[in-house]
Each structure stands twice: as C-alpha cells, then as structure tokens.
Structure 1
C-alpha cells in the first residue's frame, strides 16, 4: 500500500475531524478553562475513542447497524441526549477557576464516551469504512488502517481546537465575557447534532 493510495483516507479523516462538532467544542472549552496540559487526558480519550470507533466500523459494526435500523435510532437518540447534556454543562459554566482542588478537567474515559456517543463520529467512521474498504485486503487490516488514520486526525484536530481555547482564555477577562463564550460553545455543541437528524 503506497502513500498515494492512503492519502485520500488521511485527508478525509483530517477534514471530517477538524470541522466543528462535539469533540472540537469540548476541546476548545477545556483549553479555555484548564489550559492545554490539563486537557491532555480529554484529548487522548477523544483520539482513542475515534480510533476505536473507526476500527469497530471496519471490523463489521457497520454491517450490524445497517441490518438493524432500530439500533441506529437508539444510538442517535442516546448520543444526542448525551451531547445536549454536555452542551448544557458547557453553556452554564462560568469563569474558569483554575484551582485544581475546585475543578477537574474532563477525564480520558469521558473523552472516549464523548466519541462513542457522538452521532457525527459514527456517521464519519461508518462512511469511511464503506468508502475506503478497498484500501485493505480484509476487515482486520482495514480496522488497523482506519484506527491509525482517525487516531492521528483526531489528535491533530483537538490539539488545534484546544490551543485555540487556551489562546481565547488569555483574551477574555470578565465574568460576562465568559458567560457569552460558554453559552456560544454550548450552543455550537447542541447544533452539532442537527446534521445527524436532517
């Protein structure tokens, strides 16, 4: 397998993971509230979650979901409810209080679940599994290839968004400004669900 044949997959993974959505919004909010270093567990969880989803989709989960539309509906409903709950939490958070005893950044495990319950991420990885199936000689190799591509893309994407959040935190000074930013991030997170339902 040459780099030329894998390049479209890498471009797809990067383009689809860098666009605004639940994970990028959470990375931005975490960077703004906790800084880059304290957001690393969340970002690692997001990358691991997307990589494992891509591997699962390539290994055959795509076929199971295609065969059971009711399971797709359950996944979309539960995932949307979880993202709305996160949007509510982000939107209602106030000015960062960086005392480590008072607040904790989102954990690695929560980052993984953020992806596994994210309808946009499912659409992305299932679509990639179907579109790039010919790149590998079987489901196991395709699983590894998609896991590597999406893991790399997610790491790059959330690092960029977290850095943007960290830089944004340096510009925002008042409680009122933080309320507006958090409300905006919460609304963006809630809106990231719409493409899945439309």
Structure 2
C-alpha cells in the first residue's frame, strides 16, 4: 500500500509546489488581499482540482477523446483567460484595492481549474500514471484526489503565505507595482509551453 502511494505523493508534491497559474495567482492574492480574503480562492483550488480529477477519471476523459475539438476549445479559452488574468494582476496598483479588482471567489477558483492548462496536464498525467484498467478505478481515482487534498493543499498554502510575507516588504507602491507586473509576466509566460504544445 505505502509503496504504491509513495509515487503519487511524490508526483503530487512536485507538481503542486512548483510555479504554475494557481500558485502565482494565490501568491498575488495573498499579497494584495491578505489571508482572510484569499481563503475562498485557496479552498476553490484545494477542492476544485481534486473534483476535476474525479470528474475526468469517471468519464469526462472519454467525452474529450470522442470530441477532441471540445478539449481544444477549452485549451484556447484557458489560454485567453490566463492572459486576461495576467493583465489584471500586472495592473493591480494598490494593496486591498477596491472596485473591479477583487480576490477570486470559491466558485471562480473551482471553475478556473477547468481552463487551467497546467491543471489539465497534471490531472491527465496523474490518472494515466496511477490508474490501471485491471485495477479498481474508483479506489485509484479517490486515492489520487485525496493525495492532492492532503499534499497539494499545504503546497498551495505555502504560496499564499509567501505572498502575505511579501506584503510586509513591499510597502512602497513602486515595489508593489513591480511585483504585480512580474507576477503578471510570469503568469503570461506560463502560457507559452501550452501554446507551443498546441501547434
């Protein structure tokens, strides 16, 4: 049991702790809005991604294999949405700014998982690597989803707390502006491998 679980834990940790759209966005949210206002966003990632794994594992993947155009549409919508979010983050000028710049809600963060290209790669990769046709699919899928909650959740929290920690250092507006522009550019850059892979 432990031997079969260790590779899933390793995969989950390595994919959850490394930079990606979710981590960059939750870090920027921590800096701009603090922990309390970012909790719905955090929970949306921590619960939304495992729910996506379950949905794909239980049959949505079959739908996409039968209708590859649908998957391609979701990929390009995801790319466009990531670029929009990169622009919004880069143009955030003030900590706790009011108006149109608000932290993600729980449902927005859950919905974002479905247009997050890195999320698709992680979900499909985990299901392909850690399930087998001869195994009990329900149990294997549940094990992967639970591992992403138990291991992936703390990784996301680290990025949130890193953003909050930076908030104390970035007290000058020009430093905050540079940080948000950098985060926006990094988020936009995360799209490049997805676009190149789509060619």
Structure 2 gaps of 5+ residues are none
SS at match of 1:39: helix
1:3-57 deviations in whole A, cap 9, x for unaligned? 2211101110111121111100111011101222321111000111110111122
Which one of the candidate residues 139, 143, 148 is aligned to 1:150?
A: 148
SS at match of 2:187: helix
Rate the CA distance shift 1:174–1:36 in 2: closer, same or farther, 3 A. same
SS at match of 1:96: coil
Rate the CA distance shift 1:83–1:131 in 2: closer, same or farther, 3 A. same
Number of the residue aligned with 2:54: 55
TM-score by length of 2: 0.90
Choose 56-65 or 108-117, whichever is displaced more.
56-65
Aligned residues: 196
Instruction: Give the Cα separation in 2 of the matches to 1:141 and 1:135.
Output: 12
Number of the residue aligned with 1:71: 70
How far does residue 102 in structure 1 lie from its aligned partner after superposition?
Answer: 9.1
SS at match of 1:134: coil
Number of the residue aligned with 1:87: 86
Which one of the candidate residues 123, 126, 142 is aligned to 1:125?
A: 123
Instruction: Give the Cα separation in 2 of the matches to 1:163 and 1:150.
Output: 19
Q: Is the 8 A contact 1:59 1:142 kept in 2?
A: no
How far does residue 136 in structure 1 lie from its aligned partner after superposition?
Answer: 8.2
Number of the residue aligned with 2:110: 112
Which one of the candidate residues 182, 185, 188 is aligned to 1:184?
A: 182
Q: Is the 8 A contact 1:47 1:152 kept in 2?
A: no
- After the TM superposition, list the runs of 4 or more consecutive aligned residues in structure 1 that deviate by more than 6 angstroms: none
Rate the CA distance shift 1:43–1:136 in 2: closer, same or farther, 3 A. farther
Instruction: Give the Cα separation in 2 of the matches to 1:110 and 1:136.
Output: 36
Number of the residue aligned with 2:167: 169
1:30-86 deviations in whole A, cap 9, x for unaligned? 110122232111100011111011112221322332333212211110111111111
Q: CA RMSD in A?
A: 2.1
Instruction: Give the Cα separation in 2 of the matches to 1:175 and 1:160.
Output: 24
Number of the residue aligned with 1:13: 12
TM-score by length of 1: 0.90
